[in-house]
Amino acid sequence: MATWPFTKGLHDLGHGGFAWLQPDGGYGLSNAGLIVDSGQALLVDTLTNLPLTQEMLDAMRAQVPASRQIGSVVNTHAHPDHTAGNLLLEGAEIITSVATADEMLFIDSDANPMKRMLANWQQFGEPGAYMHEVMGRFNPHADKQLMPTRTFEDSLSLSVGNKRLELLKVGPAHTKGDTLVYVPEDKLLFTGDVLFHQVHPLVMPGAASLWIAACERILGWDVEVVVPGHGPVTDKAGVRGLRDYLLFFRDQARQRYDAGMGYEEATRDIALDAFRGWADEERIFATVANFFTEFGAKPVPMPEVMTVSARYRKAMLARCSEHGEGCSGHHG
């Protein structure tokens, strides 16, 4: 496989496929994609806010003339780091799965606790301070969301010029509505957050085991180039790496759950040697807590998980600063 450096900006993948990358891939620093053919263009995801999305669109328009008229945008899932720039594509067709469209409505509403927390973070103690640290600078809810104009249940075939695309909903995985964007003739896949590559994934409640199945599904396809939602461009090895990560944490968590440990003690007891250097290491607490819930434990309230994660992150960054070590946390 050809390799692409993990540097900020537009990367030409060949055959009319492009990736917009944002190192280090941690909170708020997502990837997007562009597919062009015969003068037509489709964008895969927007970014965490309007300024970041405008910067991306300006670069695309300067380097790829067809991108000056983007006719369609696919939001691979509902989180703001993949949708908050939609407003800059007003007039384009916005395509999502039905489940993603429903989640986008909730995320944009005042009922969304994360939105309330970011807006008034000082009132939410350690969880609020944590969210402000990792996402506050992006202000992802600053603008009203532009909602989808076209939805599908499980799959949808599209054309960009003479190029065929397949949209396949594989969620629940990272979210309920996760969608893959597959270009079969080019063996190219845009995964959204079904794939975090060299970044600790954000595992949501109730979907960890289903996420493993989604990875297995991808591994059965004819794919050579894979653009993750976060992290560097990869191939099937990156997909296999995330699958193995999830299997590792499932098995390690199960052993400790059966031994009677709590989720926090269990998380701290798991050796992370194979994943050192991955961004946002504190997410492991949510991963283990969600596996514990699948095993039958009482769900851990999200503020508690965020508090534990925040303290772990703070201690990790302090060690990095004190000892001058490489740090796997996203510094913001």
Flag whether 317 is in a domain. Answer: no
Distance CA 176, CA 26 (A): 21
> Exposed, middle or buried: residue 314 (CB in 10 Å: 0-12, 13-18, 19+)?
middle
Mean pLDDT of 304-314: 96
CATH number of the CATH domain containing 228:
3.60.15.10
pLDDT of residue 331 exceeding 60, the answer is: no
pLDDT digits (tens, 9 = 90+) for 178-236: 999 999 999 999 999 999 999 999 998 778 889 999 999 999 999 999 999 999 999 99
Domain count of the chain?
1
SS3 state of residue 112: coil
The rounded Cα 302 to chain-centroid distance in angstroms is 19
pLDDT of residue 35 exceeding 50, the answer is: yes
Flag whether 91 is in a domain. Answer: yes
pLDDT band at residue 57 under the 50/70/90 scheme: very high
pLDDT band at residue 325 under the 50/70/90 scheme: low
The CA R_g of the chain, rounded to the nearest whole Å, is 19
Which structure tokens are listed for 252?
């390690």
pLDDT given for residue 208 in this prediction: 83
pLDDT of residue 8 exceeding 50, the answer is: yes
Which structure tokens are listed for 118?
């970011």
Full residue range of the structural domain in which residue 158 is found: 9-245
Flag whether 214 is in a domain. Answer: yes
Percent with pLDDT over 90 in the chain: 91
Flag whether 293 is in a domain. Answer: no
DSSP-assigned beta bridge partners for residue 279: 199
pLDDT band at residue 330 under the 50/70/90 scheme: very low
Q: Where are the beta strands (DSSP E) in the chain?
A: 9-14, 17-21, 32-37, 40-44, 70-74, 93-97, 150-152, 155-160, 163-169, 179-183, 188-196, 225-230
pLDDT digits (tens, 9 = 90+) for 59-105: 999 999 999 999 999 999 999 999 999 999 999 999 999 999 999 99
Flag whether 149 is in a domain. Answer: yes
Flag whether 257 is in a domain. Answer: no
pLDDT given for residue 328 in this prediction: 54
pLDDT digits (tens, 9 = 90+) for 245-296: 999 999 999 999 999 999 999 999 999 999 988 999 999 999 999 999 999 9
Distance CA 308, CA 110 (A): 26
pLDDT given for residue 162 in this prediction: 97
pLDDT digits (tens, 9 = 90+) for 130-165: 999 999 999 999 999 999 999 999 999 999 999 999
Flag whether 195 is in a domain. Answer: yes
Flag whether 55 is in a domain. Answer: yes
Q: What is the pTM of this model?
A: 0.95
Comparing 16-25, 36-45, 206-215, 221-230, the range with the smallest average pLDDT is 206-215
pLDDT of residue 243 exceeding 80, the answer is: yes
Nearest to 238 by CA among 218, 222, 252: 218
